[in-house]
Structure 1
Amino acid sequence: MSSRPSAPTVGRPTGTREIPTIRRKDGLGGALAFRNDQLRFLGAGLDRYGDIFRFRPLGIPIVMVNHPDYIRHILVEKGESYDKDAVLFRVVRPVLRQGLIANPDMELWRRQRRMMAPHFTPRTVGNFARNMTDETALMLQRWERRPGEVLDVTDEIGQLALRIVNRSLFSAEVGATAQAFERAFGTANAILGAFFRFPFPPLNVPTPRSRKLHRAIDEMDTFVSTFIRARLAEDTPASEDADLLTLLLHSVDEEDGKGMDLEQLHHEVLNICIGAYETTTNTLSWAFYLLARHPEVEAKLHAEVDAALGGRSVPSFEDLASLPYTRMVIDETLRIYSPAYQFMRRAREEDTVGGYRVPAHTNILVNSYFLHRHPDFWEEPERFVPERFTPEAIAARPKHVYTPFGAGHRICIGKHFALTELILVLATVARRYRLTLPDAATEVVPEALITLHPKGGIHLRLEERR
């Protein structure tokens, strides 16, 4: 059990209390401590104050919440009272703009969600499963010439993720342009992650950093607009087997009968590219790293994949039901190293959370790196144990103690696409190869950017299964 202060009941009828605040005299550090090591600073705050506390990097008030009752209240029970006009999303908005991920306009967000949601259901995602396995099989063919090599797994999976998303979005094969997109996003991720931790000077000040960021944004915009212009010139009709871009071009809002304008379409396509690329790249990189460190888990994964596929080398969408342990490996990886490890909301009005008064316009931070390690709900949380995600174990936990895709009405629209891709890619690779620790392996640590990235990347040795 936790030694942290206990969490009061949400919405209790007694008088409200003020949220504990980290102060300079507490010895936890201030803005510089948050800037230098965000995870250590937040962990120290949780250890000192429990599951809710306030801190002020450069005078910006932020409240961190780390209890499933609080998260259910904010994201589900009163989800309409909390929006995305919060500091973290203001930081990333220069890249994501009015796309679904960071859109603060709730009416515009609802309209976009209505139009896009039908294209991201489990049934429609099945139409793109072949893209996922085909591209993975092509990657494995290239790996045939590299047995025994130490691969930069993060780079390999990053290129694969971009090929999958581009084939699903644009029906296109990409090479050097995808690598340019990957580099541009990496640059933006690092700059914006540093700016969130220490938001000075403002990004609209023409510093070398801001100019570098805008060059990266321009590269990503060019990547997306090239495909959109080409598709508009083709005037491709929508059909059941159409790619996502065609489906979005022909989407119409059921309430006003209109589609997206080209600027909004550009924003949504860019959001999909970034979301699909980053989730797959980081999750699978961490998954292969964790499997390399836990051969007993890898053996169970191989046994399941072999049994499910029989004599086949590549799984299909229909095989997902036969790969429950593979899904557990993915879920446990997402618990330990969620790429979208933090998100924020802004209180639109005064509220009470856990008996604490939350003033209007408060920035609320949820950090799943800590939520997914909460000692009251996860036994030995640093251990890699896929069995935490058996149906019985899931039912025994509060639902909102596990939030790799968020929760409530703004849960990630790409959840089904991401999970399908992660399971199918992992199973395809596991059918033929093992990725093992190099002889001089060192522990990989997470780097807290806007997303949670393996610092220095994951490097593993490629071995054919015998």
Structure 2
Amino acid sequence: MPLSTRREAHQGLRPVPRLRFRDGLGGTVAFKRDQLGFLGGGLRRHGDIYGFRTLGLPMVLVNHPDYIRHILVERADGYDKNAILFRIVRPVLREGLIAIGDNDVWWRQRRLMAPHFTPRAVTAFTGNMVDESAKMLGRWEHRGIGTVLDVTDEIGQLALRIVNRSLFSADVSAGAQSFERAFGAANEILGAFFRFPFPPLNVPIPRHLRLRRAIDDMDRFVNGFITERLHRPVDPDTTPDLLTLLMHSADEDDGRRMAVEQLHHEVLNLCIGAYETTTNALSWAFYLIAEHPEVERRLHAEVDEVLGGRLPSADDLPRLRYARMIVDETLRIYSPAYQSMRRAKVDDEVGGYFIPAGTNILINSYFLHRHRDFWDDPERFDPERFTPERIAARPKHAYLPFGAGQRVCIGKHFALAELVLAMTTVARRFRLVRPPGAPPVEPEALVTLHPRGGIHLRLEER
């Protein structure tokens, strides 16, 4: 049925306002040059929903909790992940849980994996988080007080060591560095491609050949562990790692296990997800703490009271309330997974606006988390926004660092535990302070939200 006829069938619905003067090449150039500036300008002109084009691809940005609840929760079955963003990252993530387009395939995978990512299941891996964080502090101490650390690089290595031990029961420092370099290259190339998706990724220009090499490096890293584990019997006297748990997970309906190729995709997704969210979120947290001495004092007071000089554990998480509030506020201001997309499978209505089937819906939490109807003085760093009372007073879907609805991030509980435990392990020993005269750090909008140039802080004793 032609679009005009379908629109007539939805009489009374408004058409989505569009940035018509930026259609075509103009929109593409502006989006490529400054993605956040371009999207923010559209919100200022049109409010919480508007359409635009980049390189001829139509998109609609939604920026209101009611619209997001409709798309991700109430009408989730009417939307899928066959949107442009996930088509772009699929060469890396393939059919892993993050980017699976088919909702039925996704649901089967989620059922297989979900039991291993509950808050209770995650406690089995919190020892790895604390132990690797403590080892990092030992390396820092050896380098000396007063050293200016590349915190983003340090946390990236920490995140990979934690995920490697949790997934593979392995210390693979050299391989982890290779994986980190490969993912960094892939993220930069895909971020640029999302802003200007041309020429297609299968065209062998130098940039796309570098992407292929980066993917091959990450594949080799993951394949080595899977191949080794397939030929090693399970030791009943050891606590199984995540790879072992996933290999032996069976569908509750038909008893089937994951195919080896699917297992590879899921393990790669877990490596990338765990590395990327922790690296950026914890780097931003230390930067924001360094910028706000009163927040740092309150964090130190809580750490001293709850831990009494010892290392934290999973049992301490419910009592480290202010540390968790710092994490939540950091994820509000600088969510690593700052954008997501859905594709409308059928014609729909969102907030009285007509959404044709096939529309790419863009959800950008960088702007949602700064929406002045729900966040007072939104650029101010204020962990007190996340007291139970203030959380209850806000719409639930005004805050979504891990997404929402049935496809909420499966690693949410792992990530939150890791962020709190790593942050408090550092806070009980050291301060990270900004060197005098250091310029402010700006966010860089790639596929994920990075601190441009990394975060560099000076190590000091408490």
Q: CA deviation at 1:159?
A: 0.1
Distance 2:259 2:451 in 1: 37
Deviation for aligned residue 1:440: 2.5
Are residues 1:118 and 2:132 paired?
no
Letter in 2 for 1:213: L
What secondary structure, in the 3-state scheme, does the structure 1 residue paired with 2:343 have?
Answer: strand
Instruction: Find the aligned partners of 1:49 and 1:153 in 2 and give their Cα distance.
Output: 39
Instruction: Specify the alignment match of 2:207 in structure 1.
Output: 209
Q: Distance in 1 between matches of 2:161 and 2:223?
A: 17
Which residue, out of 128, 132, 138, partners 2:125?
A: 128
Residue in 2 aligned with 1:394?
391
Q: Which residue of 1 aligns with 2:46?
A: 49
Q: Which is further off, 431-440 or 43-52?
A: 431-440
* 2:135 matches 1:138: yes
Larger CA deviation: 377-386 vs 231-240 = 231-240
Shift of 1:27: 13
List alignment gaps of at least 5 residues for structure 2: 1-9
- Return the letter of the residue paired with 1:193: G
- Give 3-state SS (helix, strand or coil) of 2:50's partner: strand
Q: Distance in 1 between matches of 2:59 and 2:237?
A: 46
Q: Equivalent residue for 1:184?
A: 182
Tell me whether 1:360 sits opposite 2:373 in the alignment: no
Q: What TM-score does the superposition give when structure 1 sets the normalisation length? A: 0.95
> Could you tell me whether the CA contact under 8 Å between 1:30 and 1:56 is conserved in 2?
yes
Q: How does 1:445-460 map to 2 (within 5 A)?
A: 445-460=442-457
The two structures, once aligned, show a CA RMSD in angstroms of 1.5
| Residues 261 and 25 of structure 1: CA distance in aligned 2, closer, same or farther (over 3 Å) | closer
Deviation at 1:311, TM superposition (A): 3.3
Do the aligned partners of 1:65 and 1:365 also contact (CA within 8 Å) in 2?
yes
Q: How does 1:65-464 map to 2 (within 5 A)?
A: 65-145=62-142, 146-237=144-235, 241-312=239-310, 314-464=311-461
Per-residue CA distance 1:60-95 (angstroms, 9 max, x = gap): 000000000000000000111110000000000000
| Residues 208/66 of structure 1: CA separation in 2 closer, same or farther (3 Å cut) | same
Distance in 2, matches of 1:100 and 1:447, equals 25
d(CA) in 2 for partners of 1:176 and 1:260? 29
CA distance in structure 1 between the aligned counterparts of 2:309 and 2:117, rounded to whole angstroms: 31
- Superposed structure 1 runs of 4+ greater than 4 Å apart: 25-29, 237-240
How many angstroms apart in 1 are the aligned matches of 2:294 and 2:26? 41
Distance 2:23 2:175 in 1: 49
Query: What is the CA–CA distance in structure 1 between the aligned matches of 2:167 and 2:173, rounded to whole Å?
Result: 15
Residues 28 and 41 in structure 1, CA contact (< 8 A), matched pair in contact too: no
Give the distance between the partners of 1:345 and 1:242, measured in 2 at CA.
Answer: 35
- Deviation readout 1:246-289 (Å, 9 max, x if unpaired): 00010000111110010000000000000000000000000000
- Structure 1, 317-326 or 13-22: larger mean CA deviation: 13-22
Quote the Cα distance in structure 2 between the aligned partners of 1:236 and 1:364.
44
- Any conservation in 1 of the 2:23–2:54 contact (CA below 8 Å)? no
Deviation at 1:241, TM superposition (A): 2.1
Contact 1:34 1:41 in 2 (8 A): yes
Q: Is the 8 A contact 2:24 2:55 kept in 1?
A: no
Normalising by structure 2, report the TM-score.
0.96
Which is further off, 154-163 or 170-179?
A: 170-179
Alignment check: 8 A CA contact 1:280 1:418 kept: yes
Task: Tell me the distance in 1 between the aligned counterparts of 2:376 and 2:24.
Answer: 29
Percent identical residues: 70
Closer/same/farther in 2, CA of residues 27 and 443 from structure 1, 3 Å limit: farther
- Range that drifts further, 16-25 or 285-294: 16-25
Show CA shifts across 1:26-73 (max 9, x none).
999511000000000000000000000001101100000000000000
The answer as to whether partners of 1:238 and 1:250 remain within 8 angstroms in 2 is no
Shift of 1:106: 1.4
Q: 1:330-368 deviations in whole A, cap 9, x for unaligned? A: 000000000000000001100000100000011000000
Distance 1:444 1:246 in 2: 40
Gaps (5+ residues) in structure 1? 1-12
